[in-house]
Amino acid sequence: MGHTLIICEKPTASKSIAEALSDGKPTKRGEEGSKASWYEFERDGHKFVSVPAVGHLFNLKQTGKGWDYPNFDVEWVPSFKASVAAAFSEPYFRNIEKLAKDAGDVVIATDYDDEGEVIGFNILRFILGRKDASRMRFSTMTKTELIESYLHAEKALNKNLIEAGMARHYLDWYYGINLTRALTNAIKKSAKRFRILSTGRVQGPTLHMLAKHERKIKAFKSAPFWEIALKVKKGKEELTAEYCKDKVWKEEEAAKIAKKAGSGAALVMSVEKKAMTQSPPKPYNTTSLLSDIYRYFGYSPQQGLSIAESLYQSGYISYPRTSSEKLPPDINYRKIITMISKQREYARDSAALLAKELKPVEGARSDSAHPAIYPSGETPVRAGDKQKKVYDLIVRRFLSCFGEPAKRESQKVVLDASGEKFILHGKRTIEAGWLAIYGKYAQREDAALPAMSKGDTLTVVKAESLAKETQPPARYSQGSVLKEMEEKSLGTKATRAQILQILYDRGYLIGKSIEVTELGQQLADILEKNVPDVVSEKLTKMFEGMMEDIELGKEKRENVLNEARKELEKLSASFKKKEEKIGDELTKAVIATQDRQSILGTCKQCGGTLKVHKLWRTGKRFVGCSGYKKGCRTGFPLPREGTIISTDKECGECKTPIIHVYAQGRRPFRMCLDINCITKKDWLDKNRLKQAKQESIAASKEAEKLRCTCGKGMKSQRALTMHRKKEGHQ
């Protein structure tokens, strides 16, 4: 009988499972010169091999050629054959192919969700030629749970999960490929240029949702109003009371009220105290965790998910892709908290919880595959700063769920200041309860008022009217938009962060406070006007519901895909009727966006326009001034990678334009153009500073090159283009 082959989703999982199940120390194996490896070990005298994939080893690809739409002819092929970007996956594919030859029993140990089930199922049928296998199911990668998962492995894969996962892959291919082709073909037909614009089943409605909000912000007209603040003294303590109306719309009226209120003493008319109880928070699911990671640490949802995934793979937290807000008793609360208590920073809070009955607060959402996110109890030994921060947040949230309710008191004191009514507000914590456990993440506001009684007289220090303006609706943050997507059933717990990242990568969104770019706004508007079903939240929600029904065994995959094909055929027919019109509008939007993005500001030396230039030969970018013909040598280097967008703002120190830089997979940042500016003192080391200065000098020289009178004596546009390439001009 051959070895037992355990198929894992990632290399770290392969190692963890081998170490957990082995009677001794597992042996690492691999082809010479390859990073892809596997582990061999023995258990109860039998040989095992734990081998990893690297996510999906198979993807959907069109069976024929052509760029027409709609097209539904697809097949599963090895990922490295489907995309050049997936070439790294081939050694992992070959390892499984090789090890499958002598395999006896096969165990699937990929992540337990629809994606993990599809990964395992495709490897089974396409590489091993099998229809089914045993299934390890676990929510943490601790040794104890992995052993339990192996000993009580399920006899077969979850067919409903496979069907739901397969349906999602087909749907995303159908919508993503066909809609992207429609947009790209429209531009090609209109402008005779090839420019890929993408959208998809969830991308379209998400962008449209954000674009609608952007329109509200842009259309908002601020109106002036005045607030009146009354500063009073109670003993030695100075307090600020608010006018009974939060806004006064006439300046003269506000000035009159302030003058009157400041002319005498303030009498306490009433004192009202109200007790409040704050329940502990719900456990984290994926959306709430990623929202809080962004809120407290500023990591994008995609970054946050990557950090949480690394903690899971290391065995420190449970599976981070879950909709659940529930913590079932079988995870053993007492055992986990006892283990956590051995970590010094959580010892006191854990000890207090262990002294009472453990019953967590839970939310309404559930997930059949995994519970809410919780710490495993294992102490992190090899964790970076980002991992430590996220781990601390998860531990404190978990412990807080078992805490006592917090008791707070609000205070409201009504004052009469020469016939005008003002209000003092105060808050204080009576019993901290779970707030003390949650610590810095609780962010409670305590502003207790001194003791006061009806009839007390307070000294008026001054009264003043403050000019204000009404503010537009707040922008979504990268955290709050995930919650909005969840409410509208846009995407899943596993895909929302990725969808948001794609919208950034396409240049449709910028900024931490999400701003829709001109291209993103135009694309959303054009789709809404011409093919509204592409951005329909209702349609997307319908398909999400159908896929949930597949997972529950209430719906068939083929029925859902048939419905999708009908919708896309109808949508494509509608699109083709307006293809030229849509193409014209998209082309204008693309050109306008490119022009806008290339202009960064005004040159302080000569008043010319600072524009982005790119060298044909090297691909380097730099900023040059339009005044080069008059001898202006202003030039600045630019980052080699990423989308560069003007912020229409100026640096307070060097007075050069501030740009927004967004590179795929990296945290976006803002910077001014002057490499010598004092604002760069802390984020440029000496070597980078030296290199940047050299690039700055080179940029000035490139700006000087542009003084060449290109075009003079050239007989054709082709000759002019060739000359510019040769000289290194844009």
The phi and psi torsions of 320 (rounded to 5 degrees) equal -85, 0
Q: Closest Cα partner for 440 from 400, 472, 478?
A: 400
Active site residue 441: no
Largest Cα span, the chain:
98
Spatial distance between the Cα atoms of 680 and 671, rounded to a whole number of angstroms = 8
- 178-189 in b/e form (b: 16+ CB < 10 A) is bbbbbbbbbbbe
| Distances 326 to 312, 331, 339 between C-alpha atoms, Å | 18, 11, 21
What residues contact 562, with CB distance under 8 A and at least 6 apart? Answer: none
Contact 85, 46 (CB under 8 A): no
Per DSSP, helices labelled H in 321-381 are 333-340, 347-354
Q: How far apart are the first and last CA of the chain?
A: 67
- Cα angle at 424 between 409 and 449, to 5 degrees? 50
Query: Percentages helix, strand, coil for the chain, rounded to the nearest 5?
Result: 45, 20, 35
How far is Cα of residue 715 from the mean position of the Cα atoms in its chain? 52
Per DSSP, helices labelled H in 464-578 are 480-487, 496-505, 518-530, 537-551, 557-577
Catalytic residue among 174, 243, 319, 476: 319
Dihedral of CA atoms 200, 202, 206, 208 in degrees, nearest 10, equals 50
Task: Please count the CA atoms within 13 angstroms of the CA of 415 that sit on its side-chain side.
Answer: 29
Secondary structure E strands in 34-149 = 37-43, 46-52, 58-62, 74-78, 103-109, 134-135
Spatial distance between the Cα atoms of 500 and 503, rounded to a whole number of angstroms = 5
Q: Annotated catalytic sites, by residue?
A: 319
